[in-house]
Amino acid sequence: MKRKIILDCDPGHDDAVALMMAGIHPSIDLLGVTIVSGNQTLEKNLTNALNICQYLNIDVPVYAGSTRPLVKKPVYAEFIHGKSGLDGPTFDPLVKKPEEKFAPVYIAETLMNSEEKITLVPTGPLTNIALAMRLEPKIVDKIEEIVLMGGSVDSGNITPAAEFNIWVDAEAARIVFESGVKVVMCGLNVTRKLRCFQEIIDRMDKIGNKASTLFKEMMEFYNQTQLSSFGWVGGPLHDPLTIAYLIDNSVLKLNHCHVDVDNNNSVSYGRTNCDFPGIQGLEPTAYVAEDVDIEKFWNIIEECLKLYS
């Protein structure tokens, strides 16, 4: 049976790849795409999602969500994703329109009206998910699990302590991690191993369809900013790991442990403290990715891109 999911994202190059995968894989029923402020403004992220869907004929409703984090001012990752939030590829004039409903309302209503449980896949700041939980607290019983990209067991990428998605809205992240819902956390400690080297781009380019062309154009831009910002040759492809995990759980080794999101006003704001050894003796609150099968990951990406005609 197909797994029903809602993808909550801020495309963003790596979010766009996650959307491409979720939009085509036969094991996934992509019910809706919800957009959040993050890599760029809400408006730009929304345009990017619509462009991807239109270009690849992904027939899915797209909803605009929060324009800003719950408490903090918005911060964007233009230094990685460019002025548009998805610099690199160009698209035909946009015809596809977003839905009217506010994304957190859509998330809450869809969960409450569904007989089956639904999986949430956030690949941006957790603002929309936290707002949906506050709008209708009963949704926690209707969520199958939350498979998210965010956090890190070790160092961060926006501060020494914090990963971007959690740091942008650590208040929202606390709400999600403390909700009692099963959370699978794909953090930087594993996604940093997924380096999109030129040979990976060439391998995907050989597929020779619309999706592989888009992948190449996006990754060529992404790799330039990853190099200039972080010195990476071959940028790490973070967000698609969530979808790869849904397609094949064996891509990740997980550690069930207690996670505390730091939202104190300190240099560690946004840090995900993952108690791997269980020093605190507290209840486990999340399944934290400890290791990733790199080869399997790229095989899944290739499998998804090949599904486009």
Question: Cβ of residue 286: shortest distance to Ca ion, in angstroms?
Answer: 18
Question: Cβ of residue 34: shortest distance to ligand BDR, in angstroms?
Answer: 14
- Residues 11-30: x where in contact with ligand BDR by CB under 6 A, - otherwise, as a string: -x-xx---------------
Report if residue 157 touches ligand BDR, rule: CB under 6 A: yes
Q: Of 66-74, 90-98, 158-166, 201-209, which part binds ligand BDR (CB under 6 A)?
A: 158-166
Binding residue (CB under 6 A) for ligand BDR from 119, 123, 189, 242: 123
The answer to whether 65 and 169 are in contact (CB under 8 A) is no
- Residues 208-247: x where in contact with ligand BDR by CB under 6 A, - otherwise, as a string: ------------------------------xx--------
Nearer to Ca ion, 70 or 257 (CB): 70
Report if residue 124 touches Ca ion, rule: CB under 5 A: yes
Nearer to ligand BDR, 70 or 241 (CB): 241
Report if residue 15 touches Ca ion, rule: CB under 5 A: yes
Report if residue 165 touches ligand BDR, rule: CB under 6 A: yes
Which of ligand BDR, Ca ion, none binds 287 (CB below 5-8 Å, type-dependent)? none
- Other CB atoms within 10 Å distance of the CB of residue 23: 23
Q: Of 90-98, 133-141, 183-191, 234-242, which part binds Ca ion (CB under 5 A)?
A: 234-242
Whether the bond between 281 and the residue before it is cis, its omega within 30 degrees of 0, is: no
10 labelled catalytic: yes
- Residue 107 CA to residue 132 CA, distance in Å, equals 6
Which of Ca ion, ligand BDR, none binds 87 (CB below 5-8 Å, type-dependent)? none
Per annotation, catalytic residue among 8, 10, 14, 87: 10
Question: Cβ of residue 12: shortest distance to Ca ion, in angstroms?
Answer: 4
Report if residue 234 touches Ca ion, rule: CB under 5 A: no
The answer to whether 215 and 237 are in contact (CB under 8 A) is no
The answer to whether 131 and 41 are in contact (CB under 8 A) is no
Which of ligand BDR, Ca ion, none binds 66 (CB below 5-8 Å, type-dependent)? none
- Residue 113 CA to residue 117 CA, distance in Å, equals 10
The DSSP code sequence of the chain is -PEEEEEEE--SHHHHHHHHHHTT-TTEEEEEEEE-SSSS-HHHHHHHHHHHHHHHT----EEE--SS-SSSPP---HHHH-SSSS-S---PPP-----SS-HHHHHHHHHHH-SS-EEEEE-S-SHHHHHHHHH-GGGGGGEEEEEEE---SS--SSSSS--HHHHHTHHHHHHHHTS-S-EEEE-HHHHTT-B--HHHHHHHHTT-SHHHHHHHHHHHHHHHHHHHHH--SS-B--THHHHHHHH-GGGEEEEEEEEEE--SSSTTTT-EEEETT-TT-PPP-EEEEEEE-HHHHHHHHHHHHHT--
Question: Cβ of residue 18: shortest distance to Ca ion, in angstroms?
Answer: 8
Q: Of 97-105, 110-118, 218-226, 235-243, which part binds Ca ion (CB under 5 A)?
A: 235-243
Binding residue (CB under 6 A) for ligand BDR from 50, 77, 219, 237: 77
| Residue ranges binding Ca ion (CB under 5 A) | 10, 12, 15, 123-124, 239
Instruction: Catalogue the active-site residues.
Output: 10
| Residue ranges binding ligand BDR (CB under 6 A) | 12, 14-15, 39, 77, 80, 123-124, 149, 157, 163-165, 238-239
